[in-house]
Amino acid sequence: MTGALLKHVREHFRTMEGYVSAGMEMTKDDTKIFLNANENPFELPGLEGLNRYPEPQPAALLEAFAKTYGVESDQIVITRGADEAIAILIRVFCEPHKDSVILNPPTFGIYGVDSRAQPANVIEVPLLKTQGTYLLDADGIIKAAKNPKNGVKLVFLCSPNNPTGTSFSHETISEICEALEGHAVVVLDETYAEFAEVGSMTADLETTPNLIILRTLSKSYAFAGMRIGCMIAADTDFISLVRAKALETYPLTRLSVEAAFHVLSPQIREIAHQNIKKLLDERDRMQAALEKSDQVITIYPSDANFLLVEMKDAHGFYEYAKTHNVILRDFSAKPGTENCIRLSIGTPDENDTVLKLLQDFSKT
């Protein structure tokens, strides 16, 4: 499927020439002599291979990603985490001072920061808080995105959502995509998908032309330090455009690419999957223990590796934990998460420390 996303891309990206880097001509062919990139031929001991620039999008890693996510390799752009994909998408789709994005707060802060940096206009359609959980306001999103006065190019959806932990139904997301076909592009951030029972929507990409999905190795594969993620879309012309014109020249370091192969090997993947189970068990244990505390008002249902906890005095507990060297995330002053902290699930020992602190805080 081609063209469905491309037509929403800013005009000059479609017409300009991309940079052809020396790295694009790189192959693993040992019989060739590469004197095209002003590299230093004298390798340093222990740092062999690092004298050479890396391949911008290594074909073998694209294949490994395609296998991991059940898509084709020409539907993927590998990025420095989902973060970089978010920044690229805003840059490629939003005309500064003219186009808009739709966000559904409370949600991941970077969408707003990157949009305002462009600057793109930010239209907020808040999540609906109902019966102890959060829901997408599908009608509100569709209405705002279809209003021609708003000039909406991108709709960011995050499922499971950070910081609420909520998974949104695939039906609702499909309904939004379908209603906006021809009007706007939907970016579904699935950074936490591996922790959720509902899983990913990558299988829907073929039938959902205006959908782009973001994935990352940061969370479920414990790889945040290496900065590897990707965007996936069915429109392969769009994917080619991003690779050719919107990426930094050599975005992925040789070390991170090498490590990514290791992470995606069958042995390491198996361990990563076992660790996801461990994390989910710990999340359940923490939930049950936190519910017993007289400080806790509500724990929102979470499909991710964190809990959003409404407390009698969230800010007070955040400060108390901080003075005892435990850093939580304070959402108490943010609209939609009043009196909440977000607690990442740690090791059993780390989690026990939080529970003990909560007990002590309760007595203060």
User: Could you list the residues that contact ligand PLP (CB under 6 A)?
Assistant: 81-83, 108, 158, 162, 189, 191, 216, 218, 224, 229
Q: Looking at beta carbons only, is 26 or 217 nearer to ligand PLP?
A: 217
Q: Looking at beta carbons only, is 108 or 317 nearer to ligand PLP?
A: 108
Report which DSSP code applies to 126.
P
- The vertex-87 CA angle with 81 and 88, nearest 5°, equals 95
Q: Looking at beta carbons only, is 73 or 218 nearer to ligand PLP?
A: 218
Q: Looking at beta carbons only, is 86 or 314 nearer to ligand PLP?
A: 86
Return the HEC string of 284-296: HHHHHHHHCCCCE
Nearest residue relative to ligand PLP (C-beta): 81
| Minimum CB–partner distance for residue 138 and ligand PLP (Å) | 19
| Minimum CB–partner distance for residue 86 and ligand PLP (Å) | 7
| Minimum CB–partner distance for residue 216 and ligand PLP (Å) | 3
Q: Looking at beta carbons only, is 54 or 229 nearer to ligand PLP?
A: 229
| Minimum CB–partner distance for residue 222 and ligand PLP (Å) | 11
Rounded distance, CA 84 to CA 228, Å?
9
Give the type of residue at 332: S
Chain position carrying tokens 């290496």:
226
Question: In a 10 Å sphere around its CB, with 0-12 CB exposed, 13-18 middle and 19+ buried, how is residue 266 labelled?
Answer: exposed
Q: Which of 241, 256, 176 is nearest to 2 (CA)?
A: 241
Question: In a 10 Å sphere around its CB, with 0-12 CB exposed, 13-18 middle and 19+ buried, how is residue 45 labelled?
Answer: exposed
| Minimum CB–partner distance for residue 47 and ligand PLP (Å) | 26
Rounded distance, CA 215 to CA 82, Å?
6
Q: Looking at beta carbons only, is 195 or 317 nearer to ligand PLP?
A: 195
| Minimum CB–partner distance for residue 83 and ligand PLP (Å) | 3
